[in-house]
Amino acid sequence: MTYTYGVPQEQDWNKLSDVEFRTLVAAEFETHHPMQLRFPPRRLRWAENKAWYLRMAAKGWIAPSWPCEFGGMGLSPSKMLIFLEEPERCGLARFPDTGILMVAPVLIRYGAEAQRRRYLPPILACEEIWCQGYSEPNAGSDLASLRTEARLEGDDFIIDGQKTWTTLAHDATHMFVLARTDKHAKKQEGISFLLVDMDTPGVTVRPIRDIAGHEEFCEVFLDQVRTPAANLVGGLNRGWTVAKSLLGFERIHIGSPKLPEYGLQVLQSVARQQGMLQDPVFRDRLARLQLDVAHLGDIYGHFAAIVGRGEPLGPEVSVLKIWATETFQRIAEMIIETAGDCGSHAGSVPLGQDSIDILAPFYKARPSTIYGGSNEIQRNILARQVLNLPG
Ligand SMILES: Cc1cc2nc3c(=O)[nH]c(=O)nc-3n(C[C@H](O)[C@H](O)[C@H](O)COP(=O)(O)OP(=O)(O)OC[C@H]3O[C@@H](n4cnc5c(N)ncnc54)[C@H](O)[C@@H]3O)c2cc1C
């Protein structure tokens, strides 16, 4: 068999039982994933975890969900969940995986063959790193109001506008952009999905410093940026359909109980050092949080089983994101309270025999109710589509 796109998959992973596959994946991550990269207090930059991902790429483990013919692992839905859960269990930081998780599935589904041949191999080899250019200063939840424009001139689109909250744009070589290509159409119908090389003249990336002093997001300014018409994906004015198709798997991923479970571990470490573990009031509050996390695990298991059977998730999956993120926020706030005087110290603080970054879970938890569709929007979905309440 010839592989046009990347590393050949020598193994049919789906022939293994789920238990065998889990054991294999767990062993790989437990043994080889560098300790210093586990449970990082912030989103890591590409330079920090590049070596690890190049190792995964060389092994052919970089694209678990892609079909084998494109160089992916071709995992079945249940194996895919295992491949998400095991790395998470050992605190694997998310890498700039936008190319793997977002661009490639779009190109595989909507792209032209020439686009797949051009863009998939460097994503698999971790040579080209992508960022997501959707949100704008006045178009977040209401994304269809976006104002970045693209007009066709000869063989190129000329793009003008501004994107914001673009995660790790300063590490990206490429960005996929939603831009308005028909100002007169209904707002969802006049949008196109374009691929842009970040080195193109007119692209300016300005990092945004967050409250913790990290620069994870950027503003991206597009000033007369030329991108070849061949970089239009899915057809002119069809960008909204393409963009919507990306939302599916994200919803269950954000609802995983791993972050709250990690929060509980930190909470118990802090409580131990503060001598709180025997305090009956503390124990009562801890037990409530533990029950909420256990309940989340049950709900996650319910939705994971649906995904594992290869069935589509209904709108009720919104409850998972709300439950996971808000439970994590409550745990993060209790960590600060339990740490007492140290609760407002930035960075790792010595606490008894441990050194603990008290604020790290808080900084992770705060934005989780915003990204991936804010929790208010998820509540609207539940109200309208599950409970049939008037809009
Ligand atoms: C960690 C993180 C990473 C991100 N990475 C990216 C990225 O890489 N690329 C990208 O394009 N974007 C990214 N974003 C942006 C993200 O998609 C937006 O923040 C999100 O869509 C919300 O938009 P907004 O910030 O403009 O808030 P707004 O939409 O202005 O919302 C403000 C508040 O109003 C509420 N609200 C809005 N509409 C309604 C409504 N109809 N009913 C009830 N309440 C409502 C919201 O819930 C929120 O509380 C990221 C955001 C975060 C936090």
Write the pLDDT tens digit of every residue in 312-360.
888 899 999 999 999 999 999 999 999 998 888 888 888 877 788 999 9
Q: Mapping DSSP to helix (H, G, I), strand (E, B) and coil, where does residue 186 land?
A: coil
CA-nearest residue, atom 20 of ligand 1: 140
Chain segment 69-118, per-residue pLDDT in tens: 888 898 888 888 888 888 888 878 666 688 988 899 889 889 999 999 99
Residue indicated by tokens 């990092």: 207
Residue nearest to atom 43 of ligand 1 (CA): 376
Task: Report helix angle 77-89 to 18-32, nearest 10.
Answer: 30
Give the model's pLDDT for residue 4: 52
pLDDT in tens, 13-45: 899 999 999 999 999 999 999 988 888 878 889
> What pLDDT score was predicted for residue 175?
98
pLDDT at position 235 is 96
Distances in Å between the Cα of 305 and the Cα atoms of 152, 324, 339 are 45, 17, 38
Please report which helix (H) or strand (E) contains residue 86, including its range.
helix 77-89
Q: What is the pLDDT of residue 250?
A: 65
Give the atom of ligand 1 at the shortest distance from the alpha carbon of 168. Answer: 8
Q: Please state, rounded to an integer, the average pLDDT across all residues of the chain.
A: 90
| Shortest-distance atom of ligand 1 to CA 375 | 47
- The pLDDT of residue 68: 87
Share of the chain above pLDDT 70, in %: 95
Q: What tokens appear for 231 in the block?
A: 């970089």
Name residue 177's beta-bridge partners. 133, 194
Closest atom of ligand 1 relative to the 169 alpha carbon: 8
Nearest CA to ligand 1 atom 27: 140
- Ligand 1 centre from 47 Cα, in Å? 27
Q: Which residues contact 4 (CB under 8 A, 6 or more apart)?
A: 117
Tens of pLDDT, residue by residue over 41-59, are 788 899 998 999 999 998 8
- Tell the residue number behind the tokens 């049939």, with chain if given: 388
If one residue of 102, 163, 370, 384 were mutated to test the ligand 1 pocket, choosing by the most ligand atoms within 8 A of its CB, it would be: 370
> For 381-385, what is the mean pLDDT?
94
Distance (Å, whole) CA 71 – CA 62: 9
pLDDT greater at residue 95 or residue 151: 151
What is the structure's pLDDT at 354?
A: 79
Candidate from 98, 165, 218, 222 with most ligand 1 atoms within 8 A of CB, to mutate: 165
Instruction: Give residues with Cβ within 8 angstroms of 26, minimum separation 6.
Output: 86, 89
Rounded to the nearest 5°, which phi and psi values hold at 314? -85, 180
Section 355-379 average pLDDT:
92
Question: Residue 369 CB: number of other CB atoms within 10 A?
Answer: 19
Alpha carbons 344 and 354: distance in angstroms, whole number: 17
Q: How confident is the model at residue 3 (pLDDT cuts 50, 70, 90)?
A: very low
Checking if the pLDDT of 306 tops 70, the result is yes
Average pLDDT over residues 302-319: 83
H-run or E-run covering 176: strand 174-180
> What's the average model confidence in pLDDT over 171-183?
97
Distance 308 CA to ligand 1 centre (A): 29
Amino acid at 204: T
Q: How far is the CA of 270 from the centre of ligand 1 (A)?
A: 32
- SS3 helix, strand, coil % of the chain, rounded to 5? 50, 15, 35
In this structure, which residue's CA is closest to atom 48 in ligand 1?
374
Which of 323, 217, 249, 321 has the alpha carbon at shortest distance from 101?
249
- Is residue 319 within a helix (H) or strand (E), and if so which, with residue range? helix 318-338
The residues assigned a catalytic role are: 250
Question: Counting atoms of ligand 1 from 1, which one is nearest the CA of 167?
Answer: 8
Which pair of tokens denotes residue 54? 């190049």
Q: What is the pLDDT at residue 50? A: 92
Of 95, 135, 170, 385, best ligand 1 pocket probe by most atoms within 8 Å of the beta carbon: 135
pLDDT band at 2 (very low <50, low <70, confident <90, very high): very low
Give the pLDDT confidence score for residue 43 in this predicted structure: 85
Above 80 in pLDDT, residue 231?
Answer: yes
Q: At what angle do helices 280-308 and 77-89 cross, to 10 degrees?
A: 150
Pocket residues: Cβ below 6 A from ligand 1:
131-135, 140-141, 165-167, 367, 370-371, 374, 376-377, 380
Confidence of residue 169 (pLDDT cuts 50, 70, 90): very high
CA 108 to chain centre: 19
